[in-house]
Structure 1
Amino acid sequence: MENYRVDDLNSINIILNSCSKDMFDGLTFVVRPVVGAIGYLRSMHKSYVFQKEIEKITNIDFETREKILDVFSDLVIEKNDEDFIRQLEVKINELNEIKDVFSELDCHKLNIEPKQMHNILSISLRRLDRTIDSIRDEINSMMWDSDEDIDQLLTLDQVFISIQEIIKETLDLPINKSKDSSKLNTLVYSLLYIEAYRRQKVSLEEFQDFLSFLSLYNYKEGKSLKDNDAVFEVLTV
């Protein structure tokens, strides 16, 4: 685990601080999916196009990474709508530490076909899902300690479960909808909301309200998918 102030080391922050690189990587997997799919790029004989930029992102030092996450997490206090990723891109272009490398990755992906980009996004989202599984294992192990704040741990665990549900629904989207899906906006926003909570930019009560928002969002999205499936079944009978 990387070094943090002693007064930050309650149970929630121990977990979130220790996995801050995982959270940063997970964010890049969504915003620049090629970062999480280097193996697939090799199979396409295109890894050499992205390798340099991917290495720069994965090797960002602790202080720079924390600065970036701090700036990004400010956005969740300011904005939450379907343009969230666009606003994040504006912020990326203002950060000298990453604007060039993110821009290069964006340019390179223009040479990849939509079906291949869909596969790349799917691979990166599955990597993020596995990362969240590992984080949830840490949360659940702490719940056995009677001295821990179970309420906070349960809330954090449920937020991650809700994020995994969004990932699952995004993976089920067809190629023509996955790239511009509102689910990606909600996914990125959710990851950064956790970062905002880690940095005490939102309170526990606000974090619990956010969990309610995610639960309602997933319920509505799930109901919409079921309704669409029902209509499709009627049309194909």
Structure 2
Amino acid sequence: MAGSPSADGAGRGVLDAGFQILEAISAAPEGCGLSQLARSTGLAKATAYRLAEQLVVLGAVQRVEQRYFVGERMAELGRHWQAAPRLRRAAQRPARVLAALTNSTVAVCVLDAGEVRLVAGVKGAEFFLNTTADPDVVYRTAMVQVLFAGRADNTVPPPTYSAAEWHRVRTGIADAGMVSVDHHDLIAGICCAAAAIRQPGVCDVAAIACMSLSQQFPPNLPGLVARAAREVEKNMR
């Protein structure tokens, strides 16, 4: 029994060192040599080599000649990572109901450390995360406007906005109850409405958005999206 705490501490030390190795390798897209690995982690060369080789055996790291790269197993594990899993569970039914009522694409996203991440979606929701699109379009979508307007530091404008323009946009969103609407303004034939989801302590900001291909803007779309956001909040509680 007396040896348990020290054994546990040693185990945590090995885990910490292992993650240091992985972080150093992931920060080196051209691969990380042993000397660089030791410098980056502050570990002795012998320790860095031993841990790196153990990670190679596990598939978490791959060695190509004398350089280490992130291994396939890490990529496989990463594919199963979920942004805000509690929010995802709470949003699934409201998102499906909203998509059915509007015959539209629905997405629930979070703004996590400045990046927009898809949490749940119906009918091709990945469209909302099309990062290859023109930034002038991406940052002006209703979804992204609501996410940036909902930040604690929302006075800082997103890319492509002047300070004065962003002040007008975020003031309009706040006046509308944290709802943003795109009446075919960005892409002809596509209209969108997004509403903020208030879920403090789970992630930075969340929003639900509905994208319709209707030639006529559905007059009840903003209200339906706002109601779906409230349903998600209720499920969170």
TM range (shorter): under 0.3
Q: When you count strand as a share of all residues, which structure comes out higher?
A: 2
TM superposition score normalised by structure 2: 0.23
Q: When you count helix as a share of all residues, which structure comes out higher?
A: 1
TM superposition score normalised by structure 1: 0.23
Q: Which has the higher contact order (CA 8 A, sep 6+)?
A: 1
